[in-house]
Structures are given as C-alpha cells and as structure tokens.
Structure 1
Amino acid sequence: MNPEDIEFIRRHPDFIQLVRRKQNLYWSLSLIMLVIYFGFVLLVAFSPATLGQSLSGGVTSMGMLVGVVIVVLAFAMTGFYVYRANNVIDPLNEKLKQEYAR
C-alpha cells in the first residue's frame, strides 16, 4: 500500500464517519463505566454505612446488591458494544474494504 492509497482512505467520508462513530462509542462507554466505578469507590469512601445496610433484615447487604448491579451493567454495556459494532461499525468497515478493492 503506497502513501497515496493511505491518504485516499484517510480522506474518504466513510472512513471519517467510521473513525468518528468508533471514537464516540468507545469514549461514551468508557466514560459511563468510569462514572459507575468511581461512584462506587466514592460511596465506599464517604458512606460505607450505606453499603453495610442489610436488605430486608437478612445477611445480604446493600453493598452486595450494588456490586451485582455493577457487574450486570458491565455485561449489558458489553452487549451494547457488540450490537453497535456488528450493526454500525462493521458494515461501514466492509463498505470501505469493498470500495478500496476496486
């Protein structure tokens, strides 16, 4: 691949859209997870009694529930990422590969 080919791809509108969509997806999901994790750490640091409260008087604490919710959210966000990658990003990538092959 010569420099002219690389420059053609870099200036292609579909490539620019592909890069923009990938970056928006990566940064937004990363930011959401950082907010969730830092929120949990701040909750542990500044309100540990909240996480130590029992749910309905049993042995399961609020901290366990919050931990499970964080794990479920991480799985859900992974599923969302896979869905968006398969239905938005990959078709754009395939379109670019087919167009460049001509």
Structure 2
Amino acid sequence: MNKDIVDKIKANPDYQELVSKRSSFSIKLTVAMLVVYFTFILTIAFDPSALGTPLSSNSVTTIGIPIGIAIIIFAFILTGIYTKRANGEFDDLANKIKRTMKED
C-alpha cells in the first residue's frame, strides 16, 4: 500500500474511532475472561477443597467440573458478543472509512 494512503487512513477520524472502540472493547472482554479464568486457577491452587466438593453425597463429580464447563461456555459467549459487535458497529465504521477513501 502506498504510504500516502496509509497516512490518510490513519488521519481519518473514523479510523481513529474504530481503533479506539475496538481496542477498548477487546481489552474489556479480555480482562473479564482473565479474571474468571485466573479466579478458577487460583482457587484450585490455594483452596482445592472448595472445587473438590462432591455435587451430592454419593457423587464422584465435584463442583469444579460444572464450574470449568461454565468457564468454557463463558469464553464462547464472549466470543459471540465480540463477533456480533464486530459484524455490526465495527464493520459499519470500516465500510465508512472505505467509502471515504474511495471518494478522495
């Protein structure tokens, strides 16, 4: 790509808005996932009996199994949330930038 075009895109206020919104949103989702995941891992490390409690008196399945599955589901949900926003708001901004560049 031509350096002039790249500089023009970077100077575009819509591009700066896109980068800002996308970065901010992805950081928020990343922090949410890391908090959930590391809470689980630190609980295993420092209080394994909390997650080692059986679901019922004669069950071999512990409470840690459904919590681990919930964490995996949470990751899929966050991915869906990001994808929905990326396919909507972020794509709209990207298309607006493309139209602006074609006009110039």
Normalising by structure 2, we get a TM-score of: 0.90
How does 1:47-66 map onto structure 2 within 5 Å?
A: 47-57=47-57, 58-66=59-67
Gaps of 5+ in 2: none
Aligned mates of 2:47, 2:98 — CA distance in 1: 52
Aligned mates of 2:83, 2:4 — CA distance in 1: 33
- Matched length: 102
**Post-superposition shift, 1:8?**
1.7
Cα-Cα RMSD: 1.2
**Post-superposition shift, 1:56?**
2.4
Normalising by structure 1, we get a TM-score of: 0.92
Equivalent residue for 1:101?
A: 102
Gaps of 5+ in 1: none
**Post-superposition shift, 1:88?**
1.0
Aligned mates of 1:32, 1:88 — CA distance in 2: 21
SS at match of 2:73: helix
**Post-superposition shift, 1:9?**
1.2
Work out whether 1:5 is the aligned partner of 2:5: yes
Aligned mates of 2:46, 2:3 — CA distance in 1: 55
Equivalent AA in structure 1 for residue 12 of structure 2: H
Aligned residues: percent identity?
A: 38
Equivalent residue for 1:27?
A: 27
